[in-house]
Amino acid sequence: MRLPFIGSVIGPVLDPVLGPVKQRVGVWLLNRTMRNGIDLRKLRFLPESVTLPLKRDGLDPLPEMKRVQAEQPVKKLAELFGRGVWLVSGYDAAREVLAGGAETWSNDLGQFVSQEGRSEEEQIGGLGMTDPPLHTQLRKYLTPEFTMRRLARLQPGIESIVQQRLDAMEAAGRDGRAVDMVQEFAFAVPFDVICDLLGLPVDDRARFLELGVARFDLTEGGAGAFGAAAHTREFLINAVREQRADPGDGLIGALLKEHGDELDDVTLGGIADGVFLGGYETSASMLALGAYLIATTPQAGEMLRSGDGEQVNKVIEELLRHLCVVQLAFLRFARTDVEVGGVLIKEGDAVGVSLLAANRDPALAEGLDEFDPSREPTRHLAFGWGMHRCVGAELARMELRTALRMLAERFPDLAMAADIDDLEFRKLSAVYGVEALPVLLEGARAEISA
C-alpha cells in the first residue's frame, strides 16, 4: 500500500542530510559535462550553491542573502570547472568590482560558449559581455544617441504611448473588472517606446514578451536563455538587412546612415539587440513592480501627482534602488589575482555582484529595506557602475517618470486586486519580475502590505 503522505513527512527531515549530497552530485555532473571545455550552452541547470543572488522573498532579498552580506560581503559560493565562483553583496566591494578596469576584469562571456557550428544569430555579443577595445568601439556608436538632448525628442512620443495604454486600461477595467498591469501597461509601454526608438514595427508583442522573459530565465541553466537570444538576434539582424538599402527614421537607420560602412549586419544587429532587450524587459519589470508599490504606498502616488519635478524624481530613484530588477551584474572574470574587500580572488575566478543586496547595504544608509519615497536619493547601483554602466539609464528614467506619473494622475485610487502572497514572481532570473499584476482602477485602496 502506498502512503503518499510519507514524502511530505520524511522529506523535510532528510533534506538537511541529502542537500549536501545533491550539491556534490550536481557539481560532479556539471564538471563531467564540461570536461572537454566550458560551454555554457550545455548548462542545463545551475547548482543550488550559486542561485542565491537570483532569488527573492517577494520584493526583498532572501534572509540568507542579508546574513551573507553581514558576515561575508565577499563570499565564495562554489568551485565549478576548476574556477571559484564568488558573490559580492557589500556596497563598497560592489563598487570596487564594477569600477575595476579591463586590466583587472574581463566581461567576455563568449570565451565560455562554443561557437562551433553556430549561425550568426547564435553568436555571443553585446556591450555587457565584451571587453575593450571591442566594447569601446561598440559603445561609441550608442553614447551620442542617449544624451539628454537627443532623448528629449522622444518625450512627446512616450507621452502619447502611455496615454494610449491608459485608455486601453480604462476600457479593460470598466465595471470594476481587474486589469493585468503586466499585459496592458508594463510591457506594452516600453516595448512600443523601444520599437519607436529603433525604428521597428510593434507587431507580435506577445511573442517578444515570452522571449524577453526567457532571455533572463536561468531555471534551465544557460541552454534556454541562449536559445531565446538567437530568436531575437535573428529578428534584429534581419531588420538591419532590410533597412540597409532604405534606412528608417529610428536608431538603426541613423547608425546605418552615419556608420553603415563600418558596421556589418551582424554587429549592428547585436548593438540593436542590446538596446532592444535592455530597453523593454527591465523597464517592463520596473513599471509592473513600481505600480505595485504605488498602489500600496499612498505617499508615492501623492508625490507623483504633485507636479513637483523633484518629488517625482525622488520616487523614481527610490523605486530604482529598492526594486533593482536587474539583480545581478554581468559576470566578471579575474584576469589576475586580485583582492576585493580584503579577500583574495584568484586569476580566472568568476565574480557576480548582487546589485539588489548592495543597494540595501546598511553601510550605504539606514532603513534601506523599507521603501521610502521621500528618501534623499542614494548612490544606488540599479544601472551598474563603471564602464559597463547601462547606456540607456536616462531613457529608462524618462520612461519611468512619464509612465508612473501619468498612471498615478489617471488612476489615483489604483488598488491591488490580489495579495502579494498570491502573485507569481520569477523564480530564477537575472531580471526580477512578476508574471501578472491584477489591479483595480477605482474604489477603496486595498490594505496590502509591501
Q: Report the chain's mean pLDDT, rounded to a whole number.
A: 83
The CA distances from residue 443 to 181, 413, 440, 448, in Å, are: 17, 6, 7, 14
Mean pLDDT to the nearest integer, 395-399: 95
Q: Write the CB contacts of 388 (distance below 8 Å, at least 6 apart in sequence).
A: 98, 107, 127, 128, 135, 329, 330
231 CB burial (10 A radius; 0-12, 13-18, 19+):
middle
Residue range 328-369, pLDDT digits in tens:
998 999 999 999 999 999 999 999 999 999 999 999 999 999
The CA-CA-CA angle for residues 132, 135, 137, to 5°, reads 100
For residue 72 the three cell numbers come to 561575508
Q: Which tens digits make up the pLDDT trace of 417-450?
A: 999 999 999 988 889 999 999 999 984 333 333 3
Among 359, 366, 375, which residue's Cα sits nearest to residue 297? 375
- Residue 24 above 80 pLDDT? no
Looking at the predicted structure, is the pLDDT value of residue 37 above 80? no
Distance CA(173)–CA(259), nearest Å, equals 47
Query: Which tops the pLDDT comparison, 67 or 134?
Result: 67
The pLDDT of 28-49, averaged and rounded, is 54
Q: Could you tell me which residue, 337 or 49, shows the higher pLDDT?
A: 337
Peptide bond into 133 cis (omega under 30): yes
**Contact (Cβ atoms closer than 8 angstroms) between residue 215 and residue 280:** no
